[in-house]
Structure 1
Amino acid sequence: MSQVLTVMLVAAEASGDSLGAGLARALKARLGDGVRFVGVGGEKMAEQGVQSPFDIAQLSILGIIEGVRALPMVKRRVAETAALAAREKPDIAVLIDSWGFTLRVAHALRKLDPKLPLVKYVGPQVWASRPGRARTLAKSVDHLLSIHGFDAPWFEREGLPVTTVGNPTLIRDFSTADPARLRAHIGAGATDPILLVLPGSRPAEIKHVFPPFEDAILRLKAERPNLQIVMPLAATVAGMVKERIAAWPFPVHVLEDATLKDDAFAAGTVALACSGTVTTELALAGCPMVVGYRLGPVSYRLVMLVFKSPWVTMFNIAAQDMVAPELLQTDCNGPMLASAIADRLDSEEMRRIQIEAQFQAVAKMGRPQVDPAELAADAVLKVLADRAG
């Protein structure tokens, strides 16, 4: 191992970019100038010194058919990632989420250097679909950093060592979020209802999910002129969304500042959210929500053949109940979304009951006692120490 530890971090989506940035910060806190980072990531990882050779937005692929179409591009990016490793000669590689891309990167890195320790950060949800992926991963990497305690047995019985670090989303602290600051920023009155709209962080989600979201918003705004529309946007899709809403006949408050996003989560009366990590964040902030999601029709049929859970929202799965309504595929349409949101805008009691149920459901997911990034950093250094020993 070189005197300065070289860590390769590879993330292909916004959520993975956040995980990678947190891990990089934790490693720098321990090693200072004794560590440097190379790899693939987004804006947050770039702030920690990871200079990505390409824009990861193009890897945010949604759906099986879309994935097949994108395969030539994915293979090119895998080759570029392997070439980066060949140049930089990392001491360890951490491959974050994004199953299809990072599995291919794992195989490419293993071929390049069979001795390079490979760590997967976030395992595939084998408890919900395709349990065979546990065996595939065990053959492809040396260690798994899991964010859910119930993941470990699935992989350990295939011989893959697992360290459960916890879900970093669950340590989000909204205690300093200021709803009044958000209202002042957007010029909203004290009693104006606020609809948060979170259309996803992948370009493909904007393609499939945004049209029914747009229909719902236009319906709600026509009936409620004082309804404030607030959109906290991920950097990966901000440009696309801004183009789509530019012609809307009313103002939309787009937020890209992290502090204002927290304020918005705490200030929202109701949220319309694309299924994903953001639903857990909204629940922690005490915002009731309606969850929507769409895939291409063929991809959806194929996914439903292997997906075993009756819910897609993580805290619904934890609660084993429909705590937040999920309107998926054909149910994810303007009239049905607008109706579910209107019910909550009109009933303070319905909002109160849902917020409490969301809190209880999130509690079942298990709030980490230690920052998961710290545990992940410890695990990465232990993998290296064990290999050196």
Structure 2
Amino acid sequence: MTGGVTVMLVAAEASGDDRGAGLMRALKRRLGGDVRFVGVGGERMRAEGLDSPFDIAELSVLGLVEGLKAYPKVLRRVRETAALAARERPDIAILIDSWGFTLRVAKALRKLDGGLPLVKYVGPQVWASRPGRAKTTAQTFDHLLSIHAFDAPYFEGEGLPVTFVGNSALAVDFSRADPERLRRRIGAADDYPILLVLPGSRPGEIERVLPAFADAVARLKAERPELRVVVPAAETVAELVKAKVAAWTHPADVLEGEGPKRDAMKAATVALACSGTVTTELALAGCPMVIGYRLAPLTYAILKRLIRTKYVTLFNIAAQDFVAPELIQDDCNGESLAREVALRLDDPTLRTQQAARQFEALGKMGRGGPDPNEAAALAVLKILEGRAR
């Protein structure tokens, strides 16, 4: 491939921002100054050289009711993203996760330029629910970069080329994480247990999940005054999380940034986590966890009829077992969460066994495979080379 290339990336959530930044770094390593990035992303993608036209935090909506309320804003941002593509004329567009938003952007881009290669990075979880999305993906995109080894048959069966690149969460580097640095930062003695609370990266998750987590924390602290509570806040919801935690009756340390979060994951005795990418990172760090999640009642009632798996956590799906307990919807309450966390705080053997089983399940997800960022970059370059022929 000769000459410069303009790559458009679109990410609307914190996990997508992380994947986009990793792909940007990998492409820069291979292309140097011959690559230019345009599109939509968060702080991590901005740090790699992308000038996003708006803050992606407003797109992190969750649930049917929230989605309907945000619909006019989403459509406006879709138009702005398409206008950016019309001005910058990218050679390829990579649309990362965030099904609703990126699907609309892809359709808008297709109308602008029928020859623009459209790549979906992270496919919808059709093996868990809504299998019809495989056909929609194939009709809309030219290629899928898959993070799950078991994705391909669902999409290739609809005629969509798939490249398995692996899950970037499995490649998170904890070699520089320092649990003692975290303890010094929060003033925790070596024998003080640490509870890590991770309430999600979307405003809707914070509003629905954090109250139950806060109730669990209050119950645990009432019986364990020496328990230290640490709350890493995703960049997209940092101010909201800080405001919520400030109102807690029991103090907690709120952390921002990837370095402190990784220190905390290695230092934590147990984690209480919202279902999502962070559960894979915790398992990689060797941290036993309890998982909670809540949706709007109407959204949950509809999705419950559509879901085809009894697990929501990826490593539980890979293991086909509740390696880590999942407390969903009404079960996600302070009493139940506190009970499950307390079992692990009080039983070192249980913690060790669960951490080992979590890590083993990551092997079934592809842990130890090629670097996902490099694999994704190679796939993108191959697609560009195919277009140039």
Deviation at 1:24, TM superposition (A): 0.7
1:165 is aligned to 165
Matches within 5 A, 1:121-270: 121-270=121-270
| Cα separation, 1, equivalents of 2:249 and 2:150 | 47
Where does structure 1 differ by over 3 angstroms across 4 or more consecutive aligned residues? Answer: none
- Unaligned regions of 5+ residues in structure 2, if any? none
Contact kept, 8 Å, 1:61 with 1:204, in 2: the verdict is: yes
Is the partner of 2:151 in helix, strand or coil? Answer: helix
Deviation at 1:368, TM superposition (A): 4.3
- AA matched with 2:65: I
Deviation at 1:175, TM superposition (A): 3.3
| Cα separation, 2, equivalents of 1:384 and 1:258 | 32
| Cα separation, 1, equivalents of 2:306 and 2:66 | 17
1:103 is aligned to 103
2:293 is aligned to 293
How many residue pairs get matched? 389
2:382 is aligned to 382
Matched, 1:94 2:88: no
1:51 is aligned to 51
1:30 is aligned to 30
1:346 is aligned to 346
> Comparing 105-114 with 350-359, which one deviates more in the overlay?
350-359
1:366 is aligned to 366
- Unaligned regions of 5+ residues in structure 1, if any? none
- AA matched with 2:77: R
Deviations 1:184-220, CA, capped at 9 Å, x for gaps: 1111011101000000000110011011111111111
> Comparing 118-127 with 242-251, which one deviates more in the overlay?
242-251
- TM-score scaled by structure 2? 0.98
Deviation at 1:69, TM superposition (A): 2.3
| Cα separation, 2, equivalents of 1:108 and 1:368 | 38
| Cα separation, 1, equivalents of 2:368 and 2:83 | 37
Contact kept, 8 Å, 2:214 with 2:248, in 1: the verdict is: no
| Cα separation, 2, equivalents of 1:343 and 1:90 | 53
Contact kept, 8 Å, 2:8 with 2:39, in 1: the verdict is: yes
1:309 is aligned to 309
> Comparing 8-17 with 256-265, which one deviates more in the overlay?
256-265
Is the partner of 1:52 in helix, strand or coil? Answer: coil
Is the partner of 1:70 in helix, strand or coil? Answer: helix
Contact kept, 8 Å, 1:167 with 1:368, in 2: the verdict is: no
Deviation at 1:2, TM superposition (A): 9.3
| Cα separation, 1, equivalents of 2:257 and 2:135 | 41
> Comparing 8-17 with 366-375, which one deviates more in the overlay?
366-375
| Cα separation, 2, equivalents of 1:157 and 1:100 | 22
| Cα separation, 2, equivalents of 1:335 and 1:375 | 44
| Cα separation, 2, equivalents of 1:247 and 1:291 | 23
2:284 is aligned to 284
Contact kept, 8 Å, 1:8 with 1:94, in 2: the verdict is: yes
Deviations 1:318-359, CA, capped at 9 Å, x for gaps: 000001000000000111111111111111111112111111
- TM-score scaled by structure 1? 0.98
